[in-house]
Amino acid sequence: SRLLPDATTKAICGFCSTGCGLKLHLKDGEAINLTPDPDYPVNLGTACPKGWEALAVLDAPDRATMPLLHGKPVEWDVALKYFCEKMKGILDTHGREAAAFLSTGQIMFEEMAFLGSLAKFGMGMLHGDGNTRQCMATAVTAYKESFGFDAPPFTYADFEESDVLVFIGANPCIAHPIMWQRVLSNERNPEIIVVDPRKTETAMAATQHYAIKPKSDLTLLYGIAHLIIREGGVNQNFINEHTNNFEEFAKFVADYTPDRVSAETGISVEQLNKFAQTIIKGTPRVSFWWTMGVNQGHQATRTAQAIINLALMTGNIGKPGTGANSITGQCNAMGSRLFSNTTSLLGGHDFRNLAHREKVAAATGIPVHRIPDQPSLAYDQILDAADSGKVKAIWFVATNPSHSWIDQSRFNRILDKLDFIVVQDMYCSTETAKRAHLVLPAAGWGEKEGCFINSERRIGYSPKVRRAPGQALADFHIFRLIAHYWGCDDLFRGWTSPEAVFRVLQRCTENQPCDITGINGHEMLRKSGGVQWPLNREQAAKFDVSTSKQRRLFADGKFYTLDKKAKFIFDPPTEIPDQARDEYPLVLITGRGTSAQWHTETRTGKSAVLAKMIPEELMLDLNVNDARHLKISDGMSVRVISPRAELTAKARLTTCVNPGEVFLPMHDNRVNQLTYASFDPYSRQPSYKHSAVRVEKA
């Protein structure tokens, strides 16, 4: 009976952006096991291996249980006094730009909002960013420019209601396995088109796979637009009524002839025609989906917009089974987009706009003069400022960039220059925590409460069902304590609980596209199976919490721009940085390894069950022809060498990567020693998908 639960409660999984509902089985108020929630509208009774193991990873022996100052355990009082003294000293001496925070899409959005508000309004920092810069920044920028607001239009029912699903730089089969389940339950016998240099698990299950040359996606998408126009496949009514500047775009893509596009992408003219015909023949419902293969590129924003352009020109938006749909990565990437107070002011507002600052000041009770009139520097710019000595302290929260940031060695060299590094995390063993002067031990998912927003804009509530180990505290409480020790707790007097902050944030969203003033607190989220934004008071009056009706954006064809019309945005492709060359003739692509792995494996690496699903050694996918040429056989130890570093891996000979390309999973901590740091100029998102390397026998 020790293991027999006596109650259940519900939570949202804290790994990926799918946002699956889980049922937690409790004994004496503590979760002892879990199963997928059969009633939750997202996952319909299923979960991927990570979700099933969500509790197991809380018990790891390397949990941070005490604050650590220079590696030695200290009491919270000592740690917080030290934190405030150091940070104040740096900000007072060197100005507001001398300290920054780098946070995450992994904590609850009430916590994110508290961190961003405390650091900027309370402590007086100017800069902070999130690891969402590595995953979602591109989609944010693309949507804002094209639609007038960062607004992914879709709902998961679109997976089931499409006639044609086009996945570009996305491998949902392993990266979003429950979304892939939704695709598999599509009963319309859909065409599934995958655009990816690699023959991924998703590509293997597709009806059409286009293995383009790495980072030729922008050219391909312009070529498809060209063919759609040539073949009369545009939806002229939609274009006339709901978009502007199509004529300009049509003129621009006139140059992207099939012959040219074929030569630049490696896709035959016949295949290009087939792709275009599949989208237009019989005017099917077409949905376009993208993830990191697009977002992490040197021209990522324009590539995302080239996808948006295809949806707009064919009128595939705002209707069932359609959309230009960016799938987010982390459980709360969307929470970060709306509430992290980094690039945008709380609720998707603009720091530079006085009316926005006044509105947020009124909603939060923070005096308007404390709200900065400029957005933060982006992640890479904060690092450059640290490299030049301008930034002297960084506070990392629930993220491990010493492993995950592009060109990792440079990142770690920059860290070595800082006067003060604080890491607030569940584990004291991460590569970043090992470099910290001060570690603040944090509770993890399940050990605290708050809300996540998933890829389809669904806000879900997750409760506390476990006690955090030792003296670890919920991030929320750490922020409250810091406000107190700093002496700015007056500003946050009403921010007493995640629910109280939820109410503050609701006020910030009033009359925004993401208006959630109609959500009646955490209670409504608990009862309803989550609520998709927007839900203003008017919509709430008609909202039935007992149904899980799916809602998509732009059903009325009205976008969030001033004239309510969407924009076609385009630019010619630019040269790929770090091209393959004599000494480094292969292109390294990095990405998700298996569905059992997550990011830098700070959590998934702790599960014995998940470990069984992961190769024991780092595997390099190498094309069989390249292997023959290099005299490398399957399973052989090889060196992968870039101008920045080298590592050894085991060769896995395959035809799933084309000749001239190799693939490594991002989860191994050595992989980002090889990657070349280039950034999209608009979103500042790093490109992990194109680095020149060579491979030799070890």
Write out the residues near ligand SF4 by the rule CB under 6 A. 13, 15-16, 18-20, 43, 47-48, 50-51, 177-178
Report the greatest alpha carbon distance in the chain.
Answer: 73
> Which of 364, 395, 330 minimizes the C-alpha distance to 109?
330
Coil, strand, or helix at residue 538?
helix
Q: Min. distance of Cβ 363 from ligand SF4 in angstroms? A: 30
Adjacent-strand bridge partners of 26? 7, 31
Return the beta strands (E) in 472-542 as ranges.
531-532
Helices 475-486 + 76-94 axis angle, to 10: 60
What gap in Å lies between CA 40 and CA 23, rounded to an integer?
10
Q: Min. distance of Cβ 25 from ligand SF4 in angstroms? A: 16
CB 640 within 8 A of CB 588: yes
175/414 with CB nearer ligand SF4:
175
Coil, strand, or helix at residue 140?
helix
Adjacent-strand bridge partners of 452? 460
Q: Strand pairing of 30-36 and 21-27?
A: antiparallel
What gap in Å lies between CA 50 and CA 568, rounded to an integer?
39
Q: Min. distance of Cβ 13 from ligand SF4 in angstroms? A: 3
9/277 with CB nearer ligand SF4:
9
> Which of 610, 378, 465 minimizes the C-alpha distance to 31?
465
Q: Min. distance of Cβ 180 from ligand SF4 in angstroms? A: 9
| Token code pair at residue 446 | 């399940």
Q: Min. distance of Cβ 44 from ligand SF4 in angstroms? A: 11
Label residue 434 left, alpha or beta by phi (over 0 means left) and psi (-120 to 50 means alpha).
alpha
Residues 6 or more apart whose CB falls under 8 angstroms from that of 609 comprise: 49, 52, 53, 56
133/603 with CB nearer ligand SF4:
603
CB 663 within 8 A of CB 693: no
3-state secondary structure string, 163-209? CEEEEECCCHHHHCHHHHHHHHCCCCCCEEEEECCCCCHHHHCCCEE
- Residue 469: DSSP 8-state: S
Q: Min. distance of Cβ 452 from ligand SF4 in angstroms? A: 9
What gap in Å lies between CA 219 and CA 222, rounded to an integer?
5
Q: Min. distance of Cβ 286 from ligand SF4 in angstroms? A: 24
Adjacent-strand bridge partners of 686? 679
What gap in Å lies between CA 296 and CA 406, rounded to an integer?
11
Closest residue to ligand SF4, judged by C-beta, is 51
Q: Min. distance of Cβ 652 from ligand SF4 in angstroms? A: 25
342/455 with CB nearer ligand SF4:
455
- Residue 377: DSSP 8-state: P
Q: What distances in angstroms separate CA 432 from CA 164, 257, 401, 429, 672, one per listed residue?
A: 43, 48, 7, 8, 14
Helices 217-230 + 300-313 axis angle, to 10: 20
18/678 with CB nearer ligand SF4:
18
Q: Min. distance of Cβ 343 from ligand SF4 in angstroms? A: 25
Q: What distances in angstroms separate CA 26 from CA 8, 306, 447, 466, one per listed residue?
A: 6, 48, 13, 9
Kind plus residue range of the DSSP H or E element containing 532: strand 531-532
20/657 with CB nearer ligand SF4:
20
Cis preceding-peptide flag for 153 (omega within 30 of 0): no
165/501 with CB nearer ligand SF4:
165
50/285 with CB nearer ligand SF4:
50
What gap in Å lies between CA 585 and CA 567, rounded to an integer?
39
214/593 with CB nearer ligand SF4:
593
Q: Min. distance of Cβ 18 from ligand SF4 in angstroms? A: 4
Q: Min. distance of Cβ 134 from ligand SF4 in angstroms? A: 18
11/440 with CB nearer ligand SF4:
11
Helices 269-280 + 217-230 axis angle, to 10: 60
Q: Min. distance of Cβ 36 from ligand SF4 in angstroms? A: 7
Q: Min. distance of Cβ 666 from ligand SF4 in angstroms? A: 16
Q: Min. distance of Cβ 49 from ligand SF4 in angstroms? A: 7
Residue 74 CB: number of other CB atoms within 10 A? 17
Coil, strand, or helix at residue 92?
helix
Adjacent-strand bridge partners of 100? 127, 394
24/436 with CB nearer ligand SF4:
24
15/427 with CB nearer ligand SF4:
15
400/408 with CB nearer ligand SF4:
400
What gap in Å lies between CA 116 and CA 127, rounded to an integer?
9
Burial class (CB in 10 A: 0-12, 13-18, 19+), 452: buried
423/666 with CB nearer ligand SF4:
666
What gap in Å lies between CA 119 and CA 341, rounded to an integer?
9
Q: Min. distance of Cβ 14 from ligand SF4 in angstroms? A: 7
177/593 with CB nearer ligand SF4:
177
Q: Min. distance of Cβ 22 from ligand SF4 in angstroms? A: 7
Length of the chain: 698
| Token code pair at residue 671 | 């992989």
18/424 with CB nearer ligand SF4:
18
195/333 with CB nearer ligand SF4:
333
Residue 211 CB: number of other CB atoms within 10 A? 20
Q: Min. distance of Cβ 16 from ligand SF4 in angstroms? A: 3
The CA-to-CA distance between both ends of the chain, in Å, stands at 54
